[in-house]
Structure 1
Amino acid sequence: MSGISQSPHPPARARQLSWLRVLILGLLLFIVTVLVMYWTHNTNLYPTVIVIGNFLVPVVFVAFLYDHQQITSLTPEMIAKSFVMGGVLGVLGASILESLLLPKPTGPNDPISLRSGMIIALIEEGCKIAAVMLLARKIRHDAPIDGLLLGAAVGMGFAALESTGYAFNALIYNQGFVGASIVETVLRGLIAPFGHGTWTAVLGAVLFRESKPHRFRITFPVVMAFIFVVVLHGCWDGLPHTIRVVIPPGLPISLASIVISILGLGTLFLVYRGAEREPAVPET
């Protein structure tokens, strides 16, 4: 099998905690880098702060999923390749199509209509799953857990790059105020687990479950899964100003975002448990 090899795994307990070590180390690096940047007034550290901040949660999210399963044949190298290449391909494809199909926003805080949100979702979810299929074209793609992990990696790579762009835009639109960019980075890091990685992981798992070892099949369940994640994504983008609830310390959160987050993570949990129990289908 090209691109995939079976590798020995460390003890299950150690594997299941490795994501936590990554999270703690990443948080320490982020905090120390921010403090040193402000203390020394060295703006050359700004790119380091933004990269660490925007990539930390996506990397931890993928590491958590990878660490808590034992049946995939995907290597860490394949996951890393999907994170980087899939994220880049997804962002590039979405940028081109969105520039052609959507009006150019005049500012970073322009509200997105539900219609525009659905178009964005259709484009971005299509580009991400296309990246998954491209990366998996030379490997067996009949094990749902593999599709879930590849989808999570591509989706979180997309999220990390997108968040980095948002942080850079915050810097520009706030006339070089670094604090605004860091706040944007932290906020997008907090919401990262509820978005791109979850949606593409769900769709990737369904796609692999329905496919043959070396041939993708776009069946009715795949189409329904695609529609489901597009609707979640579109509502996430297009319903940001619905009823809000306030949580301590006075932070307003969209009620729609809470509902969408629960639906997305709940579906991912069910798909994940099903994928763990479902072996690859022998090629016929």
Structure 2
Amino acid sequence: MSIVSVILAAIAPGVALLAYFYLKDRYDTEPIHLVGKMFLFGILLVFPVMVLQRAFVHGFGDDPLVFSFLISAGVEEFLKWFLVYFLIFRHATFDEPYDGIVYSVAVSLGFATLENVFYALLNSASISTLLMRAFLPVSGHAMFGVMMGYHLGKAKFNPEQRTRQLFYSCFMPILWHGVFDYVLLTAKTYWIWIMLPLMAFLWGRSLWNVKRANARSPLRVLRREERVEM
């Protein structure tokens, strides 16, 4: 398989998942250039993450529990959260709860896409391997992004719960990302029997979050009123 084919196969899952969640915005889709910019920031985030993770491995060692929850999930999800919070949370385009999901997923999938390209090139990955990675790490990053964005949306539009929801928006992706990595690192021979129900749960929870975020949109009420007036 040519290098171009490998790169395209590695990029496709992230782009497809981003398009899926982008189109799930029922009431007011976000500016595509801003979503693309957050996707690009997610790609660029890979490089500082690599440096920090290497430094933390030297400092803390490679114990599976520490690596999964602190070095891998902790570093990656905190930096994604940092980007979305400081670039988007107070942005004028963030005008309904679902927007948090769109931008968080864009950053997460930008990160996952370059990570997938690196893996494919460095390991001469086959199509079957890339399909498996599309189902596991790439879609996993998307699910963690949905969690993050869902709670950021709740924080944005529920001022009385802001502190708690901001905490959840960072903590929940770290927790589930850590669980995901820990299973892969420790369940060497039977990981698939844990990972399948885990991914089913994460997808189910994410789709519920998508539905709930859309249901809380203030634009939903406006659209309903417009239909009544007509």
Give the aligned partner of residue 228 of structure 2.
none
Q: Distance in 1 between matches of 2:108 and 2:144?
A: 8
Q: Does 1:147 align with 2:100?
A: yes
Give the aligned partner of residue 146 of structure 2.
201
Q: Does 1:50 align with 2:1?
A: no
Distance 1:218 1:167, change over 3 A: farther
Which of 123, 127, 132 aligns to 1:187? It is 132
Give the aligned partner of residue 10 of structure 1.
none
Larger Rg: 1
Coordinate RMSD, CA, aligned: 2.8
Give CA-to-partner distance per residue, 1:111-134, whole Å, 9 cap, x none: 971221111101100111122224
Q: Which has the higher helix share?
A: 2
Q: Does 1:242 align with 2:187?
A: yes
Count matched residues: 213
What amino acid is the match of 1:115?
V
Q: Does 1:90 align with 2:45?
A: yes
Give CA-to-partner distance per residue, 1:50-94, whole Å, 9 cap, x none: 221111011111111222332134122222222122x12321231
TM-score (norm 1): 0.66
Which of 19, 22, 37 aligns to 1:66? It is 22
Q: Does 1:232 align with 2:181?
A: no
Give the aligned partner of residue 163 of structure 1.
116
Which of 81, 85, 99 aligns to 1:129? It is 81
Instruction: Give percent identity, aligned residues only.
Output: 21
Q: Distance in 2 between matches of 1:210 and 1:237?
A: 27
Distance 1:265 1:167, change over 3 A: same
Unaligned runs of 5+ in 2: 220-230
Give CA-to-partner distance per residue, 1:148-177, whole Å, 9 cap, x none: 011111111111101111122214xxxxxx
Which of 55, 65, 74 aligns to 1:114? It is 65
What amino acid is the match of 1:118?
F
Give the SS at the match of 1:143.
coil
TM-score (norm 2): 0.80
Task: Say whether the 8 Å CA contact 2:151–2:168 is kept in structure 1.
Answer: no
Distance 1:280 1:196, change over 3 A: same
Q: Does 1:261 align with 2:180?
A: no
Unaligned runs of 5+ in 1: 1-33, 35-44, 105-110, 172-179, 246-252
Q: Does 1:79 align with 2:31?
A: no
What amino acid is the match of 2:74?
L
Give CA-to-partner distance per residue, 1:183-219, whole Å, 9 cap, x none: 5433312324531111012212211321269x9x961
What amino acid is the match of 1:224?
Y
What amino acid is the match of 2:210?
Y
Distance 1:280 1:102, change over 3 A: farther
Q: Distance in 2 between matches of 1:160 and 1:63?
A: 13
